[in-house]
Chain A
């Protein structure tokens, strides 16, 4: 069964600190993995996309890693800001003729001053 599991469910950190969010998946055959940021009351917005051959990708203070062998990804946020408070959703796509997209439940991040 295609699944995407994220941890932790929620996280509270102080402004300026770093944090790492985890994503484990069983989606097959793997096509790509995206991390989305969803601000409260808004639709998700894509942060990064990673394909099978990519191990690391950065977007400003966000760095995503992918281990296709263990089917794990992480999103590292450096020097957190209050505006980083949001849900972060891991989304994995499988290429099964067409594309099948599976959403994780998300990690709710709270950055406190």
Chain B
């Protein structure tokens, strides 16, 4: 049981380049999330997917697109990377029950845009 797996772990992009961050979970969770975490700051929600086939904007969606490929996978795409997108990106999936709203996080992708 791997939990939440993100790839790649590190990436350096030039301004204007595009890339896709991959995320997969094996816990059969419906909800998946993409966050970014800048130095000294908390997690900020970029996009989320409450269930397969649906996606919604979070707090900071500009410059990003997402795709919920199936229940397991939720990818984040940067079409034209900018230095302001230098950050650590975390994917999470959410187990939901009566009281269980524990989010399980991947290890993060450290992205640098030069």
Give A contacts to B, CB under 8 Å: 31-32, 34, 41-46, 49, 51, 89, 91, 93, 98-99, 101, 103-106, 108
Closest to B51 in A: A98
Measured CB to CB, the nearest residue on chain B to A103 is B43
Query: Which one, A34, A91, A98, contacts B50 given CB within 8 A?
Result: A98
Q: Which of A44, A51, A99 contacts B105 (CB 8 A)?
A: A44
Alpha-carbon distance between A93 and B97 when the two chains are bound, in angstroms = 12
Are the C-beta atoms of B99 and A31 separated by less than 8 Å?
Answer: yes
Of A31, A45, A103, chain B has the most CB atoms within 10 Å of the CB of A103
Residues of A within 8 A of B4 (CB): 43
C-alpha spacing A34/B114, complex, angstroms: 36
Q: List 17 A-B contacts (CB under 8 A).
A: A31-B101, A43-B90, A43-B105, A43-B108, A44-B90, A46-B103, A49-B99, A49-B102, A93-B101, A98-B50, A99-B31, A101-B101, A103-B45, A104-B42, A105-B41, A106-B42, A108-B40
| Chain B residues positioned under 8 Å from A46 (CB to CB) | 102-103
- A93 surroundings in chain B (CB, below 8 A): 101
Q: Are B99 and A51 in contact (CB under 8 A)?
A: yes
A34 touches B101 (CB 8 A): yes
Chain B residues proximal to chain A, CB less than 8 Å: 4, 31, 35, 40-43, 45, 50, 88, 90, 92, 94, 96, 99-103, 105-108, 110
Cβ–Cβ contact B103 & A91, under 8 A:
yes
Given contacts A43-B4, A49-B99, A106-B42, contact A101 B105 (CB under 8 A): no
A45-B105, A105-B42, A106-B42 known; A99+B94 contact, CB < 8 A: yes
